[in-house]
Amino acid sequence: MKKLITSLMICVAVALFTTPNAFADDQKTSAELKVEAKQAKINEVADETLQNLFKENAKAKDLYDKAVGWAVFDNTKVAFGLSGGGGNGVAVDKATGKKTYMKMGTAGVGLGLGVNKYQVVFLFQDEGTMNNFVEKGWQADASATAAAGKNAADAKTDFSNGLAIYQLTEKGLMLNADIAGTKYWKNDNLNE
C-alpha cells in the first residue's frame, strides 16, 4: 500500500512539474504556426506576382533568369492629401533558396485620394546588391522608377545600379511606376 501511495505521489508531482512546460510548448507551437501562416501567404503572393510579371513582360523573365536573387512586396498605399503605406515581402537568394522576410513603408505629401494596392518586384544583378538590400535595408530615392509595361516592352532590358524594378497593379504592369520615398527592411518577427 505504501508503494502504491508513493507511486501516486510521484506521478502527481511529475504531472504538476511538467504541465506548465507542456502549456508553454503549446503556446510556442501556436506562435510558430502563426509565423508559418504569414510566411506562406507572403510566399503565395510572391509566386503569383512573379508569374503575372512574366506573362506581361518576357524581358522581365530574361532578367529574372540572369538575376542572383529577387524580392517581391505586396503593398497598400492610402492617400488623402498626405499618403502612407506599408506591406510585407520576401527576398530570395536563387543559389541557396534562402528566404528573408521583409517589410516596407512609405510616406509622402501630394495630391491624391484613395487606396492603391500594388506589388513591387526587385531583381538583383549581383550578390553585393542583394546582400545590401537584405542586410542594410534600402531606401528608394527619386530616381528609383520601374520602367516597364506593354507600351514600353523594350524599356527595361537590363539592370540599373544592380537592380531591375517592376511595379504591378490590378491593371497590370505599370509604365514608369514611382516607388520614391519607400523604405525596405528585415521583418524581425518573421525571420529566425
Task: Please give the DSSP secondary-structure letter assigned to residue 169.
Answer: E
Domain residues for the domain of 94 are: 1-192
| Residues composing the chain | 192
Tell me the three cell numbers of residue 35: 509565423
- Predicted pLDDT at 109: 64
Query: Directed axis angle between helix 58-66 and helix 2-56, to 10°?
Result: 130
**Average of per-residue pLDDT values in the chain:** 80
- Which range of 45-59, 68-82, 140-154, 178-192 scores highest in mean pLDDT? It is 45-59
CB atoms within 10 A of CB 54: 15
Per-residue pLDDT at 10: 58
Indicate the number of domains in the chain: 1
52 pLDDT above the threshold of 90:
yes
Q: Is residue 129 left, alpha or beta, with left meaning phi > 0 and alpha meaning psi from -120 to 50?
A: alpha
Residue 64 confidence (pLDDT) above 90: yes
Pairing of strands 145-147, 175-178: antiparallel
Average pLDDT, integer, range 140-157: 51
Please indicate, yes or no, whether the overall pTM of this predicted structure exceeds 0.85. Answer: no
3-state helix, strand, coil in the chain (%, to 5): 40, 40, 20
Interval 93-136: pLDDT, tens: 999 999 999 999 987 665 566 778 899 999 999 999 999 999 99
38: pLDDT confidence band, cut at 50, 70 and 90? very high
